[in-house]
Amino acid sequence: MDTQTLLKQTSRSLYLSARALPHPVRDAFSTAYLLCRYADSIADTALLPPERRLYWITRYPDMIAHPDGAQPEQLVREISGSSANPYEEKLLQNFPLCLEAFQRLNAAQQAATLEVARRVCEGMQIDLTTFPAENAGTVKALATEKDLENYCHLMGGAPGIFWSRLIASTVKIGLPEQDFCQLGRNIGDALQIVNILRDLPRDLRIGRCYFPITELSAAGLAPADLLNEENAPRFEPIKRKWILWAIEKLASAHAYMQTLPLTQVRHRAAVAWPVLWTADTLYKVFLENNLLDPAHKVKISRQIIYATMLFTPLIIGTNAGFSACLQCKLNKFPSDKKGL
């Protein structure tokens, strides 16, 4: 078992993007993703009460930086057997393998990996301290729009910054690194809000509503009202507001790709694929007229994924090609912002 096999088994789309990367960056990207995914499994495990999960999440980044053998083994014992997915269960049992992979990274990659793990764990602490236990039978929402934006910065934007730092460490980019990372954060924010939108029915059923109470109240809704599919029309303006937010964030990918040299084919492909797949997913969310229905799973088809990969040379061969492809997808949305 190695990190690439674990990545392939836990996230097919991320594995495809990682496989396109040069080896030094690929290993760091895969290791960071698996460590963050492991933290997500800790935060969500039904085997432990929320306070015990919070205990582990609070200590998790330091455990990565300074593993002492006893704590990782204790963590594996406590959460193994918590997933019905055999592949995720393999990840849970292979925490020591992920820690060993982290130790093989160079100093800069370790620092970037620890930073993204800390930020993601901050987001998970919000989950564990803001929302009720999964079996409490109640639904709670974030308080304000700023709370949701901050959550997206932690769970999506921070990985976007991490990704950008990895690229900047191996590629001569056409922007100051700080500006490049800001673009990366915007893209990560977009990926995260799309995940929140499409996972809304599932999150509601474990007591979590990421859409702020201020917006729900303005629409005459309480968080628990979103469990009723008949309230989808009243939720629609909130949905469309955050779709617009995602579109504006995702548009940063135009400038992001222009900073990557055309000769860096692997990096360009690994950036282009998730951006384009996110745009496709966002449009499916837009078309879904009852996002509250748990039976309606918003997911792009394998055909879309493989078609994107098939046309990769045309998409990434020029900056104009990528921008035209992304803009074509974004142009499917109403041009009038009131339509959103």
- Fold match flag (1-130 vs 133-340): yes
Task: Decide: 102 and 113 in contact? Cβ < 8 Å.
Answer: yes
Coil, strand or helix: which one is 31?
A: helix
pLDDT tens column, 57-98? 999 999 999 877 788 888 888 888 766 666 667 777 888 888
Query: Can you spell out the DSSP letters for 147-164?
Result: HHHHHHIIIIIHHHHHHH
For the CA atoms of 88, 89, 93, 96, the dihedral, rounded to the nearest 10 degrees, stands at 0
Tokens of 184: 């990366």
CATH number of 1-130: 1.10.600.10
Q: Which pLDDT value is given to residue 297?
A: 87
Cα gap 308→315, rounded to integer Å:
8
Q: State yes or no: pLDDT of 315 exceeds 90.
A: yes
Residue 274 has what pLDDT?
A: 93
User: What is the separation, in whole angstroms, between the first and last Cα of the chain?
Assistant: 46
Q: What top-level class would CATH report for the domain 133-340?
A: mainly alpha
pLDDT at 248 over 80: yes
Q: How far is Cα 49 from Cα 54, in angstroms, rounded to an integer?
A: 9
Q: What is the pLDDT of residues 177-224, one digit of tens each?
A: 999 999 999 999 999 999 999 999 999 999 999 999 999 999 999 999
Tokens of 291: 């996002």
- The per-residue pLDDT of the chain, averaged, comes to 91
Of the candidates 199, 207, 202, 240, the residue with the CA atom closest to the CA atom of residue 224: 207
Mutual orientation of helices 23-44 and 86-93 as an angle, nearest 10°? 100
Mean pLDDT of 128-152: 96
List C-alpha distances in Å: 297 to 196, 198, 199, 292, 340: 13, 7, 8, 10, 21
Residue 93 or residue 17, greater confidence: 93
**The three-state (H, E, C) secondary structure of 4-23, written as one string:** HHHHHHHCHHHHHHHHCCCH
Mean pLDDT of 290-310: 92
For 297-324, what is the mean pLDDT? 94
What 3-state class would DSSP assign to 324? helix
User: Chain-centre distance of CA 180, in angstroms?
Assistant: 19
Q: Would you list the domain boundaries of the chain?
A: 1-130, 133-340
Instruction: List the structure tokens of 170.
Output: 């191996």
